[in-house]
Amino acid sequence: MFDFLKKENTKHHKPKFGLKELLHYVGPGLLVTVGFIDPGNWASNIAAGSDYGYTLLWMVTLSTIMLIILQHNVAHLGIVTGDCLAEAAHKHLKPWLSKIVLSTAVLAAVSTAMAEILGAAIALNLLFRIPVKLASVLILALILWMLFTNSYQKLEKWIIGFVSIIGLSFIYELSLVNVDWNQAVRGWTTIEFPKGSMLIIMSVLGAVVMPHNLFLHSEIIQSRQWNLEDESIQKLQLKYEFADTLLSMIIGWAINSAMIILAATTFFTKGEHVSELGQAAQMLKPLVGPGASIIFAVALLFSGIASTTTAGMAGGSIFAGMFGEPYDPDDLHTRFGVTWILVIAAFVIFLIRDPFKGLVYSQMLLSVQLPITVFLQIYLTSSERVMGKYKNGLRDKILLVAIGVILTILNIMLFIAAGKG
Give Cα 187 to chain centroid, integer Å. Answer: 23
What is the pLDDT of the chain when averaged over all its residues?
86
Q: Which of 67-81, 210-224, 360-374 has the highest mean pLDDT?
A: 67-81
pLDDT digits (tens, 9 = 90+) for 235-280: 777 788 888 899 999 999 999 999 999 999 998 988 888 767 777 7
pLDDT value, residue 6: 44
- pLDDT for 96 beyond 60: yes
Measured distance CA(278)–CA(280) in Å, rounded: 5
Of 357 and 158, the one with more pLDDT: 158
Spatial contact of 369 and 107, defined as CB atoms under 8 Å apart: yes
Residue 179: pLDDT band with limits 50, 70, 90: very high
Average pLDDT for residues 128-136, to the nearest whole number?
Answer: 94
For residue 169, CA distances in Å to 97, 105, 139, 293, 351 come to: 44, 32, 21, 11, 32
- Write the DSSP assignment of 268-323 as a string of letters: GGGT----SHHHHHHHHHHHH-HHHHHHHHHHHHHHHHHHHHHHHHHHHHHHHHTT
pLDDT value, residue 11: 43
pLDDT value, residue 414: 66
Angle, CA 342 vertex, CA 341 and CA 346 arms, to 5°: 120
Spatial contact of 1 and 327, defined as CB atoms under 8 Å apart: yes
Q: Which element (helix H / strand E) includes 92?
A: helix 85-92
Spatial contact of 137 and 299, defined as CB atoms under 8 Å apart: no
pLDDT value, residue 322: 95
pLDDT digits (tens, 9 = 90+) for 138-162: 999 999 999 999 888 899 889 989 9
pLDDT digits (tens, 9 = 90+) for 288-311: 677 888 998 999 999 999 999 999
For the domain 16-420, what is the CATH superfamily, name and number? Amino acid/polyamine transporter I (1.20.1740.10)
pLDDT value, residue 360: 61
Which of 59-73, 231-245, 315-329, 396-410 shows the lowest per-residue confidence on average (mean pLDDT)? 231-245
pLDDT value, residue 16: 57
Of 413 and 350, the one with more pLDDT: 350
Compute the half-sphere exposure of residue 107: CA atoms within 13 Å on the CB side of its CA: 18
Measured distance CA(316)–CA(196) in Å, rounded: 39
- Write the DSSP assignment of 348-396 as a string of letters: HHHT-S-HHHHHHHHHHHHHHHHHHHHHHHHHHHT-HHHHGGGS--HHH
Whether the model clears a pTM of 0.85, i.e. scores above it, the answer is yes
Q: Which residues contact 51 (CB under 8 A, 6 or more apart)?
A: 197, 200, 268, 273
Spatial contact of 114 and 257, defined as CB atoms under 8 Å apart: no
Give me the sign of the Cα torsion angle 167, 170, 175, 181: negative
Measured distance CA(173)–CA(58) in Å, rounded: 21
**Between helices 85-92 and 355-381, what is the axis angle to 10°?**
50
